[in-house]
């Protein structure tokens, strides 16, 4: 099916190609190390944790039959994948819960049992910061939940949010590497953060921290987030994390194996094969959904090669600052609605905005939409149905708006995550 016959299906094909490119089956095996003389332990966390653990198991079982494998994977509810040796635990995301706290405690205990001849293969993916939830003594998980909820509502960038998480954790900021030592640690990560900074991915459980607890307290104060007294006291103590020259990091390596750029590149190949001119804006765009919609609308209007269809691709993370009252939807749905309003029915423009994990905001259920699609007819169709696009945007209710139009994209959990995927098709 060509882009001329069904632009919506064409955009969905681009998204699906991007997601396939960053699946563990496509990117993990070539980076896995040989098994050790001692124990091989897989420690996985994130939305792709179970699928990464399953792929790692299959690799060792096929390449080195008889290898004894054990481990723990902590993933979001609804993101389970079958494993033979690694115990899979489901927990809360984006708000930490007791299940995550219990599973993280078990992971840390397993890490502490390793010896010099052992190997820990640490598999990280988007969502691990929330799932690896083990607050310091004196901090209740409920207090961490409230803080996380308040921070996310501000629309703060993930680097800031993860700085706070890092300093309210017994496993992040290099502490997992410290627990694994003297065993060797090999960390392989599917990144969902702009810039792919190792200390930000999953809040850096196996790499040195580049922040202090006082930095975290500064972020709390900057966003004027209410904070429980035990958390303030914890930050003021400024508890030290493992120093960059700590021995544990000499036995630890880190590699990012999939990013948003891989997803965009795969989509670009498909678009070029269809005869499109392709512009990849970047995979590190980090701004509000409204700001991104304005900039992408300008790009869509600046098509300078008549007769040749153009595809604009971008990734990164759209953010939304929520008020006390808000409707349904997530950042990608809000971007799509804002883009439709910016374009005001511009002819021959179709667009898709989805989260590569398959879940864009919403209730957190596995059945939530991944995002939404728009066309030059979105606003006129909405008007005929009595829908007010501007009101839906003001109320952060893009999910309800697109549901009534039948323009939500629902995939279910993709079991990977490299953050947002945006594709705009400007037809010839």
- Please report where in the chains the tokens 């993990």 appear, as a residue: 28
Over residues 286-309, the pLDDT tens digits come to 999 999 999 999 999 987 777 899
Strongest mean pLDDT among 46-60, 125-139, 311-325? 46-60
Instruction: Indicate the fold that domain 7-19+261-426 takes in CATH.
Output: glycerate kinase, domain 1 (3.40.1480)
Instruction: Give the pLDDT band (50/70/90) at residue 238.
Output: confident
Over residues 171-194, the pLDDT tens digits come to 999 999 999 999 999 999 999 998
Over residues 43-76, the pLDDT tens digits come to 999 999 999 999 999 999 999 999 999 999 999 9
Closest by CA to 45, choosing from 159, 127, 135, 144, is 127
Do 264 and 298 form a contact (C-beta atoms < 8 A)? no
Alpha-carbon span 382 to 122, nearest angstrom: 47
The arithmetic mean of pLDDT across residues 204-231, rounded, is 91
Torsion-angle region of 329 (φ positive above 0: left; ψ -120 to 50: alpha; else: beta)? left
Segments in 183-288 forming alpha helices (H): 213-222, 229-237, 247-250, 260-273
- Residue 335 pLDDT greater than 60, yes or no: yes
Instruction: Give the pLDDT band (50/70/90) at residue 1.
Output: very low
Instruction: Give the pLDDT band (50/70/90) at residue 158.
Output: confident
Q: Which residue has the higher pLDDT, 326 or 339?
A: 339
Alpha-carbon span 129 to 111, nearest angstrom: 18
The arithmetic mean of pLDDT across residues 349-353, rounded, is 98
Q: What is the pLDDT of residue 364?
A: 62
What does the block give as tokens for 273?
């094969």
Closest by CA to 216, choosing from 176, 175, 165, 141, is 165
- Residue 402 pLDDT greater than 90, yes or no: yes
Domain boundaries in the chain?
A: 7-19+261-426, 24-258
Instruction: Give the pLDDT band (50/70/90) at residue 321.
Output: confident
Q: What is the pLDDT of residue 323?
A: 67
Percent of the chain with pLDDT over 70: 97
What does the block give as tokens for 183?
């065993």
Do 166 and 95 form a contact (C-beta atoms < 8 A)? no
Q: What is the pLDDT of residue 194?
A: 87
Closest by CA to 176, choosing from 138, 203, 137, 152, is 203
CA angle 75, 76, 79 (to 5 degrees): 80
What does the block give as tokens for 140?
């209740």
One DSSP character per residue, 329-351 reads --HHHHHHHHHHHHHTT-TTEEE
Alpha-carbon span 155 to 151, nearest angstrom: 7
315 bridge partner residues: 421
Mean pLDDT estimate for the chain = 94
Closest by CA to 162, choosing from 170, 152, 153, is 152
Cis before 94 (ω within 30): yes
- Residue 202 pLDDT greater than 70, yes or no: yes
Q: Record the pTM.
A: 0.94
Alpha-carbon span 60 to 73, nearest angstrom: 17
Instruction: Indicate the fold that domain 24-258 takes in CATH.
Output: Rossmann fold (3.40.50)
- Residue 273 pLDDT greater than 60, yes or no: yes
């Amino acid at each position: 099916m060509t882009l001329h016959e069904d632009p919506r299906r064409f955009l969905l094909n681009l998204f699906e190609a991007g997601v396939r490119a960053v699946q563990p089956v496509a990117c993990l095996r070539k980076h896995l190390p040989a098994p050790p003389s001692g124990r091989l332990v897989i420690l996985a966390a994130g939305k792709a944790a179970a699928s990464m653990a399953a792929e790692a198991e299959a690799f060792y079982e096929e390449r080195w039959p008889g290898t004894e494998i054990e481990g723990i994977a902590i993933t979001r509810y609804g993101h389970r994948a079958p494993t033979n040796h690694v115990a899979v635990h489901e927990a809360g995301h984006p708000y930490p819960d007791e299940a995550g706290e219990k599973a993280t405690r078990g992971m840390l205990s397993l890490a502490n049992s390793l010896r010099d001849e052992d190997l820990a293969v640490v598999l990280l993916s988007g969502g691990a910061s929330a799932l690896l939830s083990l607050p310091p003594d004196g901090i209740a998980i409920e207090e961490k939940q409230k803080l996380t909820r308040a921070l996310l509502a501000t629309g703060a960038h993930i680097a800031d949010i993860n700085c706070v998480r890092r300093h309210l954790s017994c496993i992040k900021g290099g502490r997992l590497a410290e627990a694994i030592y003297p065993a060797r640690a090999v960390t392989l990560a599917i990144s969902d953060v702009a810039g792919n900074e190792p200390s930000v991915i999953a809040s850096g459980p196996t790499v040195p921290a580049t922040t202090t607890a006082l930095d975290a307290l500064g972020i709390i104060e900057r966003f004027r987030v209410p904070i429980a007294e035990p958390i303030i006291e914890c930050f003021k103590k400024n508890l030290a994390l493992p120093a960059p020259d700590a021995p544990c990091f000499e036995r630890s390596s880190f590699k990012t194996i999939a990013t948003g750029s891989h997803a965009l590149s795969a989509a670009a190949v498909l678009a070029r094969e269809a005869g499109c001119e392709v512009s990849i804006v970047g995979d590190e765009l980090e701004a509000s959904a409204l700001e991104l919609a304005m900039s992408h609308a300008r790009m869509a209007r600046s098509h300078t090669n008549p007769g040749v269809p153009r595809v604009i691709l971008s990734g990164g993370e759209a953010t939304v600052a929520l008020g006390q009252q808000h409707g349904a939807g997530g950042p990608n749905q809000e971007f799509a609605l804002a883009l439709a309003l910016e374009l005001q029915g511009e002819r021959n423009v179709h667009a898709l905005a989805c989260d590569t994990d398959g879940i864009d905001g919403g209730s957190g259920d596995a059945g939530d939409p991944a995002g939404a699609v728009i066309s030059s007819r979105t606003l006129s169709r909405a008007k005929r149905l009595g829908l007010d696009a501007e009101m839906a945007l003001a109320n952060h209710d893009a999910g309800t708006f697109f549901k009534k139009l039948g323009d939500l994209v629902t995939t279910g959990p993709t079991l990977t995550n490299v953050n947002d995927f945006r594709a705009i098709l400007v037809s010839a």
